Amino acid sequence: MRYLHDIGEYFIMLKDIFRRMTKPSVLKTLIFKEVDDLIINSMGIVIFISFFIGGVVTIQTALNLNNPLIPKSLIGFTARQSIILEFAPTFISIIMAGKVGSYITSSIGTMRVTEQIDALEVMGINSLNYLVLPKIVAMLLYPFVISIAMFVGIGGAYMAGVMGGFVASDQFLEGLQNDFIPFHLAYAFIKSFIFALILATVPSYHGYYMKGGALEVGQASTTSFVWTSVILIIANYILTQLLLS
Amino acid sequence: MIKVNDLHKSFSGEEILKGIDTEFIQGKTNLIIGQSGAGKTVFLKCLLGLILPTDGTIEYDGKAYSTLNKEQQRELRKKMGMVFQGSALFDSMSVAENVMFPLKMFTKQRKEQRMERVREVLDRVDLLKVDNKFPSEISGGMQKRVAIARAIVNKPQYLFCDEPNSGLDPKTAILIDNLIHEITKENNITTVINTHDMNSVLEIGENIVFLKDGRLEWQGDKSIIYKTDNESLTSFVYSSDLFQKVRKAQLQGL
């Protein structure tokens, strides 16, 4: 029953976010701040992880291709497919659920605990619109983060493959271009867009409706990470089934 | 003036407010007092519109909150200022930005006009020197004064304060009490303070509402609180030896 209540409350929250709009000039400032906090500040970790994941995918693929009949260009092909289809959109989103999700839950949760949300409400401001809408708008740039992750991931794969001596540069590049299906990119960006909405709203829900003190803020952050990850994984499965099968 | 008629509030079947009838007078510092669990915070939140009552009405200058449409309720909220127990200042904003926030949200004033008003109220609470600091960089007493400045910057008709001097040293607490009292007089606003502090009661209590177990037990001003024979009130207000001596001295006309 509690889960049903939470799901219902989450969707009511989504509706209430768009109820009473904040003054556009104020909203604009908030959106730029959120772009900085959620997108720009996440670039470092996204680039770091993407680069090494790309490298690991290449090394593992290369080490498992023992059959001389299988062309080495398959390493580039596998790296491209894994990174575009799964590692960049899904793996990075799970990382972002930890980084961005925890930040959102703890910042909104702290505002709840310290009565800052009540202060907004007393002033006649729609606190959900003021706090959550800028995050949703900022996260619309999330597909851009994923495209950087793809680019850096493939760069990491190339460097690990070529510099590690697993594959020649031309073979890797040939594999990279083989059987390229542009819809796979569209699929990755559709997923990224849906994941962005999940990453902005689920942690906001956990922060906004939390009760208690500092300890509960920490617990809410953990719960938020778990649930955001679970919803991302389920959404990933459903979207893959809908878009690729 | 705020008029409360037969106010009831229940949570999960448990009745917290059990039919309160009272008035909060314009231009006076109205105090809500009572032991922990008496229903003070729930009452204050009902007055603010943060909690909807189960039954009864709250009238603001003759208009019942429950009869107003959402737009009118929002307009009424803009006439309210609130000082929270923990100040509730926005951490990411400087002192000046915190005070400017209501002006930014609800007025079409230019930045210079807004800054002028912010300087005016910061000067009133004697905090002009810290306008660029962040809440975490100033003391608890200063935070309370910033919260008062933010609450009055939009010239509210109603000012609500939830334990405004909790956690402050006695000297700063008196300073905050006097500041709220003076602002009430200067602007002729209806101020409602939720407090535990007996100094506040005896210092600025012009209309004291004593709650017990969700009911209005006693109402009066500081001049008659010494003479009351209401046992619940006297045991609450004069629970310490010091206040018992003060009462005795007052009754003896010392």
Residue of A nearest to B76 (CA): A124
Q: Which two tokens stand for residue B91?
A: 């951490």
The minimum CA-CA distance between B219 and chain A, rounded to whole Å, is 27
pLDDT of residue B253: 67
Which of B80, B85, B105 minimises the CB distance to A122?
Answer: B80
The minimum CA-CA distance between B86 and chain A, rounded to whole Å, is 7
Contacts of A124 in chain B (CB under 8 A): 74-75, 77-78, 106
| Long-range interactions of B128-136: CB distance < 8 A, separation 24+ | B130/B95, B131/B94, B131/B95, B131/B96, B132/B94, B132/B95, B132/B96, B133/B94, B133/B95, B134/B91, B134/B93, B134/B94, B134/B95, B135/B87, B135/B89, B135/B90, B135/B91, B135/B93, B135/B95, B135/B98, B136/B91
Residue of A nearest to B74 (CA): A124
Q: Do A121 and B88 touch (CB under 8 A)?
A: no
Give me the mean pLDDT over the B85-95 stretch.
91
Decide if pLDDT at B247 tops 80. no
pLDDT of residue B127: 87
pLDDT of residue A151: 96
**Domains defined for chain B, CATH in brackets:** 2-79+157-251 (3.40.50.300), 89-155 (no CATH)
Decide if pLDDT at B243 tops 70. no
More confident residue, A229 or B12: A229
In angstroms, the first-to-last Cα distance of chain A is 34
B210 by DSSP, 3-state: which? strand
Instruction: Name which of B76, B105, B143 to mutate to probe chain A: the one with the most chain A Cβ atoms within 10 A of its Cβ.
Output: B105
What are the boundaries of each domain within chain A? Answer: 23-244
Cα–Cα distance between B136 and B125 in angstroms, integer?
18
**245 residues of chain A, pLDDT tens digit each:** 788 999 999 999 999 999 888 999 899 999 999 999 999 999 999 999 999 999 999 999 999 887 888 888 999 999 999 999 999 999 999 999 999 999 999 999 999 999 999 999 888 889 999 999 999 999 999 999 999 999 999 999 999 999 999 999 999 999 999 989 999 999 999 999 999 999 999 999 999 999 988 899 999 999 999 999 999 999 999 999 999 88
Contact B117, B41 (CB under 8 A): no
B18 by DSSP, 3-state: which? strand
Q: How confident is the model at residue B233 (pLDDT cuts 50, 70, 90)?
A: confident
Contact A129, A201 (CB under 8 A): no
Decide if pLDDT at B252 tops 80. no
Q: What is the pLDDT of residues B177-224, one digit of tens each?
A: 888 898 899 889 999 999 888 888 878 888 999 999 899 988 988 888
Helix (H) or strand (E) run with residue B245 in it: helix B241-251
Q: Do B88 and A23 touch (CB under 8 A)?
A: no
Q: Which two tokens stand for residue B50?
A: 């943060």
Contacts of A125 in chain B (CB under 8 A): 105
Q: What percent of chain B has pLDDT over 90?
A: 38
